[in-house]
Amino acid sequence: MVCPRCISAIESVLDMLKIEYSKVELGQIYLKESLADNKLSFFESEINKIGFELLESSKSVLISRIKTIIIEQIHYQNNALKVNYSTLLSEKLNYEYTYLSHLFSSIEGVTIEKFITSQKIERVKELLFYNQLSLSEIAFQLDYSSVAYLSNQFKKETGMTPSAFKKDHLPKLKALDAL
């Protein structure tokens, strides 16, 4: 689960199935009691219908938690990270970063750093699309050392510059405003 709508969707399924829970967070559900196998199977079937999967293996859960921490930091925190991502992940998950990094790469096929970069670029696209911040402000908010470095990474990921992306997507916004 990577957004508040995802949490709401899971909560709806839990409520529909009358499964008692204390909290649903990005990537985690805290149940008040264990589920019988048949109820767990039915829950899994229902969440699969809406595009989610149940992760039970400890490695899958750990990968999910790594992604969740990164996504929360990049997409939902407006304050700059005071430590680097390796420290953040190690502290929150109580594992050495080298273990987390090797596990993530072996299962996901990309490094944690590459995942962070792709999430940052997605956030840059969002911020450019809504046209509320300058590229300098976006670079500062996402902790890029310079606008040039942000632009370079953006072009490497998307094949276009931030300016070209903005130009391609702003007319669509103006057309929507005219409706």
Residues 50-56: what's their mean pLDDT?
Answer: 79
Let me know if residue 35 belongs to a domain: yes
Exposure string over 139-160, b if 16+ CB within 10 A, otherwise e: bebbebeebeebbebbeebeee
Residue after which a domain boundary falls, among 54, 81, 97: 54
Is residue 74 one of the residues assigned to a domain?
no
Domain range spanning residue 38? 1-54
In a domain, residue 88? The reply is no
Residue 21: beta bridge partners? Answer: 31
In-domain check, residue 18: yes
Structural domain contains residue 162: yes
Q: What would the pLDDT profile of 145-177 be if each residue is shown by its tens digit?
A: 999 999 999 999 999 999 999 888 765 545 555
Number of domains in the chain: 2
Cα–Cα distance between 150 and 153 in angstroms, integer?
5
Query: Where a domain ends, among 54, 75, 94?
Result: 54
Is 78 inside any structural domain? no
Q: What is the CATH number of the domain that holds 133?
A: 1.10.10.60
Q: What average pLDDT is seen over the chain?
A: 87
Residue 25's pLDDT band, with cuts at 50, 70 and 90, is confident
136 is a domain residue:
yes
Q: How many residues does the chain have?
A: 179
- Mean pLDDT of the 92-114 span: 94
- Band of residue 178 on the pLDDT scale cut at 50, 70, 90: low
Q: Residue 126: is its pLDDT beyond 80?
A: yes
Per cent of the chain over pLDDT 90 is: 53
Q: Is residue 102 part of a domain?
A: no
Nearest CA-CA partner of 31 in 43, 48, 19: 19
Look at residues 38, 54, 70 and tell me which one is the last residue of a structural domain.
54
